[in-house]
């Protein structure tokens, strides 16, 4: 049985995950406006991942017999100076999300809520990947600069990304 505080925080996290998707869709639109279709594809796929993260929390609450609440989303940033700035902000955003997941885990430990601790382990691992993927692209962008052949190669590489929902066991 989940504590009311945990139910409230998970509902808040559903909103946070959907907001991440919102932000990444805005970043995708900026990349498209710069004719960087591969970068845009990366963020479109990232938005699908964030929706998956939100829905995983949603189904967990339903399974636990708790009420799901869907909240409104804030307006995401829309003006960016460069694709490098986009990835800097995306990396910082993922670090913030890692903090939110860690807060949830801290509460689950305080509550001696073992089921939620086990459930949250998936997100703890996922956040390591989320931060690493944003940071790795950011570092590559810093290496190749914002123009030229390197940028186009990176764009074509990111154009190949597609969304594969994790299997049930994950």
Footprint of ligand OFO on this chain (CB under 6 A)?
Answer: 17, 20, 50, 53, 94, 97, 130
**Tokens linked to 166:** 């994790």
Residue-wise burial string across 27-58, b where 16 or more C-beta atoms lie within 10 A, e elsewhere: bbebbeebebbbbbbbbbbbbbbbbebbebbb
94 versus 113: smaller Cβ distance to ligand OFO: 94
**Cβ(7)–Cβ(66) under 8 Å?**
yes
13 versus 151: smaller Cβ distance to ligand OFO: 13
Q: How far is the CB of 145 from ligand OFO (least distance, A)?
A: 26
52 versus 144: smaller Cβ distance to ligand OFO: 52
Q: How far is the CB of 100 from ligand OFO (least distance, A)?
A: 9
**Cβ(62)–Cβ(68) under 8 Å?**
yes
51 versus 140: smaller Cβ distance to ligand OFO: 51
d(CA 64, CA 67): 9
Q: How far is the CB of 37 from ligand OFO (least distance, A)?
A: 22
């Amino acid at each position: 049985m989940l504590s009311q505080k945990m139910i409230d925080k998970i509902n808040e996290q559903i909103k946070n995950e959907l907001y991440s998707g919102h932000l990444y869709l805005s970043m995708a639109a900026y990349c498209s406006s710069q004719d960087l279709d591969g970068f845009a594809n990366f963020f479109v796929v990232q938005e699908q991942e964030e929706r998956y993260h939100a829905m995983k929390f949603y189904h967990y609450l339903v399974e636990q017999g708790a009420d799901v609440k869907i909240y409104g989303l804030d307006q995401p940033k829309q003006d960016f100076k460069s694709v490098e700035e986009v990835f800097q902000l995306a990396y910082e955003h993922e670090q913030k999300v890692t903090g939110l997941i860690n807060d949830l885990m801290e509460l689950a430990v305080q509550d001696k809520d073992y089921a939620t601790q086990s459930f949250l382990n998936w997100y703890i691992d996922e956040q390591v990947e989320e931060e690493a993927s944003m940071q790795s692209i950011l570092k590559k962008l810093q290496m190749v600069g914002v123009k030229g052949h390197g940028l186009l190669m990176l764009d074509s590489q990111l154009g190949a990304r597609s969304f594969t929902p994790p299997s049930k066991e994950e």
